[in-house]
Amino acid sequence: MQLNATIARQIVERTMKIIHYSVNVMDEHGRIIGSGDPSRLNQRHEGAVLAITDNRVVEIDPGTALQLKGVKPGINLPIVFRDQIIGVVGVSGTPDQVRNYGELVKMTAELIVEQEALMSQVQWNKRHREELVLQLIKDTELNDAQLLSIAQKLDLDLAQPRIAALVKVLPAEGESLSLEHLQKMVHLLEYPERDNLVGIHSVSLNEIVVLKPITLEEAGWSRDIEQKRINKLMRRVAKESQFSIQIALGDYFPGLPGLSRSFQTAQATLSAGKNDEDVLFYQDHLLPVLLSGLKDDPWRYEQLVKPLDALKANDPKGTLLKTLKIFFAQNCDLAQTCEMLHIHRNTLRYRLDRIEQETQLSFNNLSDKTRLYIALSC
């Protein structure tokens, strides 16, 4: 830990609110880096050099002050951090006047240094945890042994099974997304949750990656448990923030390389999901996710959706398309589809006949029906 001008300024400001004497802070070389008298900054303080060299309190009376360079009457005390002298704090005034304040100022200075060291360690841990998350979710040059070594230094257990979740932060209408929004969301994800690994996605700056611990059972990981945790998080977000979120959860894959694959499934699920869905599970969107790459293959995609395009061209009000979507959503059950659409069974049969005419595909043909379903899912 080294003293710098920022810490020195804090020491000067806080102590001078308590005592009405000028306070100086010197670094490990005896150079004044903080002072109640700005004209003394950057001067070499020979009294501080003595205090550092001899590891003792140095009192300077008016006579001695005339013999030393860069000093005034006062008292100078070493600042000690973890048994090492890192600088000196001085109080200007005749020794008899300021002696009683010396230990108080020294204690305040050392407390501020301790606080700054702790905050630096917290920030270091936070930064490296985030970097580790980003390494784990992408193809990295680091091998498993290197990643485990980094995790060990951060006191993280990577043997704990995890799934990846992607949280998209959505600002309120009329507002723009700020770093404060993201930091608030990171805090909500880290506390009081148990052992979440959280990092802001470096590609999409409105998305946050979470590697969530899970409990594996014979049937896999429990969706119900994660749903309850997400519901609780949603309530906290609604109560404590001015933004909304959309969450996509990927699937579980074993081993450290599995975290990257889990992230890919979460990312693909978020892309395939609808904007009005707050929580997206990969298992619920498996087919659209697996088919999402078809759009990158133009001729195959064009051939696949050609019947659907023909239907849309002759369905200006979208009634037939809506009917088709609900029909498939109800697993092709005629009664449930009628109930959802509030129409008579004959009306449904008429619409399905129209869909067959426009698309030139038959619902009685499994291949035709599958083609329509996949085209809707892409």
> Class of 144-291 per CATH?
alpha beta
Residues of each domain in the chain carrying CATH 1.10.10.2840: 297-377
Residues of each domain in the chain carrying CATH 3.30.450.40: 5-122
If you average pLDDT over residues 359-366, what whole number do you get? 93
Q: Which CATH architecture has domain 5-122?
A: 2-Layer Sandwich (3.30)
**pLDDT for res 54:** 93
More confident site: 193 or 215: 215
Percentage of the chain lying above the pLDDT 70 cut: 98
3-state SS assignment for residue 343: coil
Whether the pLDDT of residue 121 is over 80: the answer is no
**Count of CB atoms within 10 A of residue 268's CB?**
21
Nearest residue to 378 (alpha-carbon basis) of 313, 280, 302, 314: 302
Confidence at 21, pLDDT banded by 50, 70, 90: very high
Nearest residue to 43 (alpha-carbon basis) of 27, 55, 58: 27
Average pLDDT, the chain: 88
Residues of each domain in the chain carrying CATH 3.30.70.930: 144-291
Going by the DSSP 8-state scheme, the letter that residue 287 receives in this structure is: H
Whether the pLDDT of residue 272 is over 70: the answer is yes
What's the pTM value of the predicted model, to 2 decimals?
0.64
pLDDT tens for 87-96 read 999 999 999 9
- In CATH terms, the fold of domain 297-377 is Arc Repressor Mutant, subunit A (1.10.10)
